Structure 1
Amino acid sequence: MPNLIVLGIRGIPARHGGFETFAEKLSLYLIGRGWTVTIYCQEDGCGEITESEWQGIRRIHIPVSRGGAAGTVIFDWKAARHALRQKGLFLTLGYNTAIFNLMQRIKGQINVFNMDGIEWRRDKWGPIAKSWFWMNERAGCWIGNHLVADHPKIKDHLATRIRSHKITMIPYGGDEITNANSSLLTPYGVEQGKFSVIIARPEPENSFLEMVRAFSRTTRNHKLVVLGNFTPNSNPFHRKVMEAASAEVIFPGAIYETTVVEALRYYSRFYLHGHRVGGTNPSLVEAMGAGCAVIAHDNHFNRWVAGPDAAYFKDESVCDQLFDQLLTDDAAVAQMKANSRARFQERFTWDQVLREYEELLNNWYPTK
């Protein structure tokens, strides 16, 4: 029975982000296909390493007393050391601490890396963090036996580091949403089709300020719901975004209830996607799976994912123009929604993505 060991995430069930959701989906899929799966999970506190089982998945719990990024680095170090005693095929999600996986390479363990996005290009990191990520991207390319890129442009980028035959492109996946509970909109004071939504981490490279400013230039008779963990008292960028917002912009905070997020996507007029850095972004894929009409920042990452029929903006002025044009054009919006579903079904369903991963993992499974 083949065994997969997953490193690089904070654990399952998924609570933190796209990689955790992917790990959960892949693990349950592989168990149904006759695999066993082990996942390392980060826990707060001190004490001994423990094990548990969740829906047939073996979980190894590693307690870490530090919080934040430092705690994650410590967890990755402890997980990489503990993994030296495991047998099977390894899948490491992200390269942020890839240098630690050198131990596995030396021991001869086979490790497939999903290289995620180009983390060292993100505006939010200072020089030291950018240098760390740049170094670990290089390390992951060399240490990993094989690499997964989640976007053709990420594969092109990695091919400047390593030969392209060592890289397989498999995008992120999503669930198709064909219905949602409209009553879940009530607490936010919005009605079906009379609001648009932004769902992302409120970082400068995600174009929050540009999108909020563009929407707020005039009265729209429309709401903009901006999901995210805003802390204006301690974060100057968050404060700047909120100060730029008109009375029609709603900041409900971060929402983690899946059914609520699905309803906000499904009943929105537009999903706004301002990401400028990265590959196949999970939030964009999930929006397409909900049939959202997409307005996205114009770059080669977003254009490949959302396709030629989404609406794109290069700057705040163009974003403003798109609101002016599309808020009253029901026929165009209906076509954009249909095109999103078609593009999603073409390339981003979990069935397709997980089959491609299983094929790749079978090809790399150690024979000894």
Structure 2
Amino acid sequence: MTNHPVHNVSTGHVIIMGIRGLPAAHGGFETFAERLALYLVERGWKVTVYCQGSASGRREVDVWEGVERIHIPVKRDGSIGTIEFDIKATMDVLSLPGTILTLGYNTGFLCSFLSWRRRKNFINMDGLEWKRAKYSTPAKIYLWVNERLAAWAGTKLVADHPSIAEHLATRVPHDRIATIPYGAPGIDQADITLLADYGVEAHRYLTVIARAEPENSILEIVQGFSAKPRGMKLLVLGKYTRDHDYHCQVMAAASDEVLFPGPVYEASRIQALRFYSLAYIHGHQVGGTNPSLVEALGAGNAVIAHDNKFNRWVAGGAGLYFVDAADVSKQIDDLIADPSLQRELSSQAVKRWLEAFTWPDILAQYEELMVLKC
């Protein structure tokens, strides 16, 4: 674990943009933003967060857990509504002094505008979104252009993975890039009684927690697990419907030992399902430091992961790796047959989490970065 300087007095005003709002309800970036905002408030910073939507239909300001929230009304839904929100928030922030932290580059053109207005803007550049198979060609072009606009405009770019930093270095000088990964809490106990709700027993199941998309290798994972009877379950969390072709392919490939309980959001349930799992299977093919994989390490999960540079750096010695369904089947065979291998991978998971992904260390790195630049 890295040691960082401690700052106990107010050192500035940070304005967080690029999320839907707080408290967190929409995934990894919001979870991070909530943790960072509360951490900085406790350390004496003023923190403002822009939130999408306003119950009154007007701009509203309130305070949540010491964090100032500015609620911006939007008239549209979906991605268009998000762009509308980002534009309105960008116009609003021009009158608000402080250092901006933008999460994501989906509206990089607005980052360029803020740069033109000489605003300090740290940008977490997320993953290689424009490479994701789920997006249409026009959407990929839009993301590709905005990634470059954000890279050129940011005061400092934050990469959550060394490979993302290497990619960004083809756009801007190295000294404008900081590498700070995503964090995760440690889990050393959980409520075992919750497992009964999902029809599984401790250490007699494996977990998959991911969006049901081809680039997350869900089909290959289910095919590999279902290649033979296992004597245990595969718990595939997430939303699966009969009116989606890929979802249907995944469900059709599943043996009777594969369970689809739907999405699970309650923290205590996710903790229990992670903590008592024999292993976590991670199929993400594109991205940087994926929150779900880091959270598995914090829970001490042995990992079976898609073989790519992103996952190998994160999981390191805690992982067995696969490229196709046959590999998935073999790695599951090896793990089930050798309890000592599972114990070793679990030990390596906790070690890797302590080395690089604890929240106090991650948040201290962000504070240090902003102290140096504010």
Does 2:314 match 1:308?
no
In structure 2, the residue matched to 1:333 is: 342
In structure 2, the residue matched to 1:238 is: 247
Task: Structure 2: state its 5+ residue gaps.
Answer: 1-9
Q: Is the 8 A contact 2:225 2:329 kept in 1?
A: yes
Q: Is the 8 A contact 1:44 1:63 kept in 2?
A: yes
- Distance in 2, matches of 1:74 and 1:291, equals 41
User: Which whole-Å deviations, capped at 9, do the CAs of 1:152-197 have from their partners, x for residues lacking one?
Assistant: 0000011111111110000001100000001111111100000110
CA shift, 1:298, in A, is: 0.5
- Distance in 1, matches of 2:307 and 2:317, equals 11
Q: Is the 8 A contact 1:84 1:103 kept in 2?
A: no
- Secondary structure at the residue paired with 1:138? helix
In structure 2, the residue matched to 1:151 is: 161
1:351 corresponds to which letter in structure 2?
P
CA shift, 1:352, in A, is: 0.8
Identity of aligned residues (%): 50
1:38 corresponds to which letter in structure 2?
T
In structure 2, the residue matched to 1:66 is: 76
CA shift, 1:316, in A, is: 1.1
- Distance in 2, matches of 1:260 and 1:52, equals 31
Aligned residues: 364
Pairing 1:102-117 to 2, within 5 Å after superposition = 102-117=112-127
Pairing 1:10-25 to 2, within 5 Å after superposition = 10-25=20-35
Indicate which of 136, 140, 154 corresponds to 1:126.
136
- Distance in 1, matches of 2:335 and 2:82, equals 43
- Distance in 1, matches of 2:240 and 2:94, equals 40
In structure 2, the residue matched to 1:90 is: 100
Indicate which of 233, 258, 261 corresponds to 1:223.
233
User: Which whole-Å deviations, capped at 9, do the CAs of 1:248-300 have from their partners, x for residues lacking one?
Assistant: 11111111101100100000001000000000000100110000010000000
1:354 corresponds to which letter in structure 2?
L
- Distance in 2, matches of 1:311 and 1:10, equals 36
In structure 1, the residue matched to 2:3 is: none
Q: Is the 8 A contact 1:64 1:74 kept in 2?
A: yes
Pairing 1:159-238 to 2, within 5 Å after superposition = 159-233=169-243, 235-238=244-247
| TM-score (normalised: structure 2) | 0.95
Task: Tell which deviates more after alignment, 108-117 or 300-309.
Answer: 300-309
- Secondary structure at the residue paired with 1:327? helix
Going from structure 1 to structure 2, the CA distance change for 1:277 and 1:78 (only over 3 Å counts) comes to same
1:362 corresponds to which letter in structure 2?
V
Q: Is the 8 A contact 2:54 2:71 kept in 1?
A: no
> After TM superposition, what 4+ stretches of structure 1 lie above 3 angstroms from structure 2?
none
- Secondary structure at the residue paired with 2:355? helix
- Distance in 1, matches of 2:75 and 2:241, equals 24
- Distance in 2, matches of 1:157 and 1:170, equals 15
- Secondary structure at the residue paired with 1:60? strand
1:279 corresponds to which letter in structure 2?
G
CA shift, 1:46, in A, is: 7.1
- Distance in 2, matches of 1:64 and 1:328, equals 55
Indicate which of 260, 266, 269 corresponds to 1:260.
269
- Distance in 1, matches of 2:71 and 2:237, equals 31
CA shift, 1:70, in A, is: 1.7
- Distance in 2, matches of 1:298 and 1:352, equals 27
- Secondary structure at the residue paired with 2:61? strand
Task: Tell which deviates more after alignment, 348-357 or 322-331.
Answer: 322-331
Q: Is the 8 A contact 2:53 2:73 kept in 1?
A: yes
Aligned-residue RMSD, C-alpha: 1.1
User: Which whole-Å deviations, capped at 9, do the CAs of 1:319-361 have from their partners, x for residues lacking one?
Assistant: 1111112112111101110100000001100111111110101
Does 2:368 match 1:363?
no
Indicate which of 338, 345, 363 corresponds to 1:354.
363
- Distance in 2, matches of 1:315 and 1:243, equals 18
User: Which whole-Å deviations, capped at 9, do the CAs of 1:52-110 have from their partners, x for residues lacking one?
Assistant: 11100001111223222222111111111111111010000000111112222122110
